[in-house]
């Protein structure tokens, strides 16, 4: 078990560019979550998947954001036309749907800086 893996760890992009992040969950976990964390705040929920189905999206997830989990394994989070306000740490977590009482396990995060 190698834990939740996120790539890249850091991304600097110019305003208006598109960026894509990848998350590889713990292999047997069928739930995958995306959170955003800004400086001095706790993580805020963005969206989650059970297998390949996206079950819930936060109102924080504007139409510039899209997440996919095409085969129920890894997931991608894309931000189109980035804005400076998108600068944050993007965290991915995974858990089992049954037995989720063990809690969600987080990756190291992707830190996005929009200049």
∠ CA(30), CA(71), CA(34), 5° rounding? 55
Please state, in angstroms and as integers, the Cα–Cα distance from residue 61 to each residue in 73, 78, 86, following that order: 21, 11, 11
Residues 6+ apart with CB under 8 A from 106: 4, 91, 92, 93
Q: Any contact of residue 111 with other proteins (CB under 8 A)?
A: yes
Q: Is 72 left (phi over 0), alpha (psi -120 to 50) or beta?
A: left
Give whichever of 4 and 112 is closer to other proteins, judged by the CB atom.
Answer: 4
> Are 109 and 90 in contact, with CB atoms under 8 Å apart?
yes
Query: Under the criterion CB under 8 A, does residue 109 sit at the interface with other proteins?
Result: yes
Q: Which two tokens stand for residue 108?
A: 């190291």
**Residue 12 binds other proteins, judged by CB under 8 A:** no
Under the criterion CB under 8 A, does residue 48 sit at the interface with other proteins? yes
- Nearest approach in angstroms of CB 8 to other proteins is 13
Q: How far is the CB of 16 from other proteins (least distance, A)?
A: 26
The interface mask with other proteins, positions 88-107, x = CB under 8 A, is ---x-x-xxxx-xxxxxxxx
Q: How far is the CB of 13 from other proteins (least distance, A)?
A: 19
- Which residues are at the interface with other proteins (CB under 8 A)? 4, 6, 31, 33, 35, 40-45, 48, 56, 91, 93, 95-98, 100-109, 111
């Amino acid at each position: 078990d190698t834990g939740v893996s996120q790539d890249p760890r850091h991304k600097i992009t110019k305003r208006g560019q598109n960026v894509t992040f990848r998350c590889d969950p713990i292999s047997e976990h069928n739930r995958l979550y995306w959170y955003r964390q800004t400086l001095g705040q706790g993580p805020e929920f963005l969206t989650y998947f059970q297998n390949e189905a996206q079950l819930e999206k936060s109102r924080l997830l504007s139409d510039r954001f899209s997440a996919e989990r095409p085969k129920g394994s890894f997931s991608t989070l894309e931000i189109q036309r980035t804005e400076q306000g998108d600068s944050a740490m993007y965290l991915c977590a995974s858990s089992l749907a049954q037995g989720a009482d063990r809690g969600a396990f987080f990756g190291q995060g992707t830190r996005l800086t929009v200049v």
